[in-house]
Structure 1
Amino acid sequence: MKELKVLKIRVTSCITLVGISLMLAAVMSDHWAVLSPKLDDDTQSCEVAHFGLWRLCKKKIYMDDQETMIKGCGPLSLPGEHSCTYFKHFTSGENANIFEVTTQKEYSISAAAIAIIGVGFATMGTVCTLLSFKEKLDYLLKPAGLFFIFAGLCMIISAEVIRQSVHRMIDSKETVWIEYYYSWSFACACSAFVLLFICGIALVLISLPRMPRNPWETCMDAEPDM
């Protein structure tokens, strides 16, 4: 391959590596969204929840400062009692009767499965990209780009499923959560989608044959890239 083409592939691969890192950070963390209840005037403590694809964590925060109480429950950085419960995706579980756990479990099954499929696509894309550096294997760039595109789409679909689960819990009358915001894990998932999708398209374009430079030059007459 020409030096310029190799340079483009290397730069794109480095950006793709950042996207894959963000994807793994989002999949393994549990700060996709943070939920907080309504804080009464006489409340001395409140319980904030945050969750990811695998577990739901709750933190009981003691509200001693009056100014902090006016702003609402939280933030998560305040000291308090912290506990996490893993979603039992393939078993019913004794705690599944709690509404927020049940709701998030149902959605997290789909979100986690889609995210794992995305990780698989990213892995296959990485393997194809590495093999494309070998002589006469540059045709693997196109499937590598497609794999990265699919991985990015899986991450944004997973993020949308989580977003729907948050709205379902907030809108329900059976839950105490009334306020929410999306945290850094959600941002990692969205950023991974942008980087993987753009880099995937870039790899597909790089893998295409060079267009003729002159109107009378055909693709068959063009100089080969090898």
Structure 2
Amino acid sequence: MMWSNFLMQEEDRRCAAAGRRRGQQGPGLTPEREGKIKLALLLTAVGATLAVLAVGTEFWVELNTYKVNGSAVCDAAHLGLWKMCTKRLWQADVPTGRDTCGPAELPGEANCTYFKFFTTGQNARIFQRTTKKEMNLAAAVIAVVGLAVVALGCLCIIMVLSKGAEFLLRVGAVCFGLSGLLLLVSMEVFRHSIQALLARVSPEPPLAPALVYEYSWSLGCGVAASLVLMLGGGCFLLLTLPPWPWGPLCPKRGPGGT
């Protein structure tokens, strides 16, 4: 009799301990909630892809010289965070109604080089103008930090789906929102670096040609990536909020309700 009572007490203690562990772990993800998280993750994956495409390509801005009468060629350039490409284009390929050379996607003789300030600390020269390396370096570093924060946000959401750690949803939301903001800051710093480049004209001959600049598709990918990432972060943040406070005030009526 004593032995059976002892076994029953031990079984009760084990069941109580298991119940406490389940209570501490919390309920698992419901299929509906898991589907919402996966949908938001897909949205942020699109934003992350656009961000990598924007940071990795060099079509952030195009610098175009004016076409010269009597010349068969004209010069253009396009640059991004890491390198620049100067191109010599045939004027016959340039659209007729365009006063400047370009667009830079046209076929021509290209010369692409990485910026020296990443290795030797020297400024680059483009069309007798000098880059401001501090601003270019700042834009590149901020963009890389933004990509790292994107990767951290993706890791948090993967942990939510695989381990059920729902508290990481809020961390992932902050990461995605912050990454979108960092990309916007990087693009703004880059815009100021282009303004500084155009103003830093070398006094040495030959004379610097007049330039017209226009932003290109890589920068458009960066803007789209920022907006999509911030939208994805907002979606994850909504998933962490409690039910609407007015839900209990409007109970559903039964079939016999009036």
- The bucket for the TM-score relative to the shorter chain is 0.7 to 0.9
How large is the Cα RMSD of the aligned pairs?
2.5
CA distance in 1 between counterparts of 2:68 and 2:182 reads 40
User: C-alpha offsets along residues 103-138 of structure 1, whole Å, 9 cap, x if unaligned?
Assistant: 154322111100110011000000000001135401
Structure 1 unmatched runs, 5+:
218-226
Partner of 1:221: none
Corresponding residue of 2:112: 84
What is residue 124 of structure 1 aligned with on the other side? Answer: 152
2:69 — aligned with what?
A: 41
Q: Flag the 1:113–1:177 CA change in 2: closer, same or farther, 3 A.
A: farther
Alpha-carbon deviation of 1:167?
A: 2.4
Report the Cα offset of residue 63 of structure 1.
Answer: 1.7
Deviates more, 1:20-29 or 1:206-215: 206-215
1:18 aligns with 2:46: yes
Tell me the distance in 2 between the aligned counterparts of 1:111 and 1:56.
15
Q: Is the 8 A contact 1:169 1:177 kept in 2?
A: no
Contact kept in structure 2, 1:39 and 1:69, CA below 8 Å: no
Paired with 1:54 and 1:66, the residues of 2 have a C-alpha distance of: 27
CA distance in 2, matches of 1:53, 1:149: 22
Match in the other structure for 2:238: 205
Per-residue CA deviations over 1:155-192 (Å, capped at 9, x if unaligned) read 11111112112223334554535211111110010000
Matches of 1:9 and 1:75, distance apart in 2: 42
Aligned counterpart for 2:188 among listed residues 146, 160, 164: 160
Structure 1 residue 198, shift from structure 2 partner: 1.0
Q: Which has the larger radius of gyration?
A: 2
In structure 2, C-alpha distance between the alignment counterparts of 1:58 and 1:92, rounded to whole Å:
21
| CA contact 1:170–1:179 (8 Å) conserved in 2 | no
Does 1:188 find its partner at 2:221?
A: yes
Of 38, 53, 57 in structure 1, the residue corresponding to residue 81 of structure 2 is 53
**For residues 50 and 67 of structure 1, do their structure 2 counterparts lie closer, same or farther at Cα, with a shift above 3 Å needed?**
closer
- Give the C-alpha shift of residue 205 in structure 1: 1.6
**For the Cα contact (< 8 Å) 2:132–2:196, is it kept in 1?**
no
Equivalenced residues, count: 215
Greater RCO structure (CA 8 Å; 6+ sep): 1
Relative to structure 2, which stretch is displaced further, 48-57 or 34-43? 34-43
Q: Is the 8 A contact 1:47 1:61 kept in 2?
A: yes
CA pair 64-136 structure 1, distance change in 2 beyond 3 A: closer
TM (norm. structure 1) is: 0.85
Q: Quick check: 2:115–2:124 contact (8 Å CA) kept in 1?
A: no
Q: Which residue of 2 aligns with 1:98?
A: 125
Give structure 1 regions of 4+ aligned residues with deviation exceeding 6 angstroms: none
Q: TM-score, normalised by structure 2?
A: 0.75
Whether the aligned pair in 1 keeps the contact of 2:60 and 2:218 (CA below 8 Å) is yes
Distance 1:20 1:12 in 2: 12
Q: Aligned pair in 2 of structure 1 residues 181, 3: CA closer, same or farther (>3 Å)?
A: same
Give CA-to-partner distance per residue, 1:166-224, whole Å, 9 cap, x none: 2233345545352111111100100000000111011012112334432599xxxxxxx
Identity of aligned residues (%): 31
